[in-house]
Amino acid sequence: MLSPSLVEERAEVIRIAQKMITDDLVVGTSGNVSVRSGELVAVTPSGVDYDGLTVGDIAVVRLDGTVVEGDLPPTSELPMHLTAYVEHGVQAVVHTHSLHATALSLLRDDVPAVHYQLAEMGGVVRVAEYATFGTDQLARNMSVALEGRGACVLRNHGTVAVGSTPAAAYNRARQLEWLCELWLTARRAGEPSLLDDEELSRCAAQFHHYSTR
């Protein structure tokens, strides 16, 4: 029997997971989505076609990883999701395998300041050091890169974006992919002009002002 308090959250996880497919942020069954509700987390299952997901397929786990409900096992990337919740106090996590962000991770240690949108993520987005998928080491590397930021890139892997809701985290994931594509496009023609830290700080203040109006 489904927990009534998590039916809505599980349905939202499905909606965002399916958007990742339509927006080309993942291929096949890659990537995953989760949302926290109190001490529980609703998260996509492992290796399942998102188009056919039902609410009952979405796993519900405790913050220690114990499975509470769900017809299917949670994603293999559960350690990353739980680390983001426990160490960074976020409410939703979106993990993609987006093309341009992953390509950039092969070339750089950060996403350069090619656009003021980076300010909404807390500044220049870092690239986490590579570790095998599904491991605690990957979760630790992600946590270091995510400190003080709304997203990070995983080297040779993909991205992690966080937020107050799945929709907010997803918007950051899409923005991050666009920023990476922008840098790669400009870099093919020459050396991109970058914004300095002072301008990013001004933009961050502007974002904060608009979000509190």
Residue ranges covered by each domain of the chain: 7-211
Per-residue pLDDT band for 1 (boundaries 50, 70, 90) equals: very low
pLDDT digits (tens, 9 = 90+) for 198-207: 999 999 888 8
Q: How many CB atoms lie within 10 A of CB 166?
A: 24
pLDDT of residue 146: 98
Q: For residue 23, what are its two tokens? A: 């927006």
Strand extents, DSSP E, the chain: 32-37, 40-43, 59-62, 67-69, 92-96, 110-111, 125-128, 151-154, 158-163
pLDDT of 2 over the 60 cut: no
Which residues are catalytically annotated?
77
Average pLDDT score over residue span 4-12: 87
With bands split at pLDDT 50, 70 and 90, how would you rate the model's confidence at 3? very low
pLDDT average, residue stretch 69-92: 96
Q: Angle, to 10 degrees, between the axis of helix 166-189 and the axis of helix 4-22?
A: 20
pLDDT band at residue 28, thresholds of 50, 70 and 90? confident
Mean pLDDT, the chain, whole residue set? 94
Instruction: Using the predicted structure, report yes or no on whether residue 185 has a pLDDT greater than 50.
Output: yes
Q: How confident is the model at residue 211 (pLDDT cuts 50, 70, 90)?
A: low
Mean pLDDT, rounded, for 68-85: 96
> What average pLDDT score do residues 78-101 get?
98
Other C-beta atoms closer than 10 Å to the C-beta of 191 total: 7
How much is the average pLDDT of 150-177?
98
Residue 4 has pLDDT above 60, yes or no: no
Please give the average per-residue pLDDT across 31-58, as a whole number. Answer: 94
Q: What is the mean pLDDT of residues 64-75?
A: 94
Residue 21: φ, ψ to 5°: -70, -50
Could you tell me what percent of the chain has a pLDDT over 90? 86
Q: Is the pLDDT of residue 179 over 90?
A: yes
CATH number of the domain at 7-211, out of 3.40.50.300, 3.40.225.10, 3.30.565.10, 3.40.50.970? 3.40.225.10
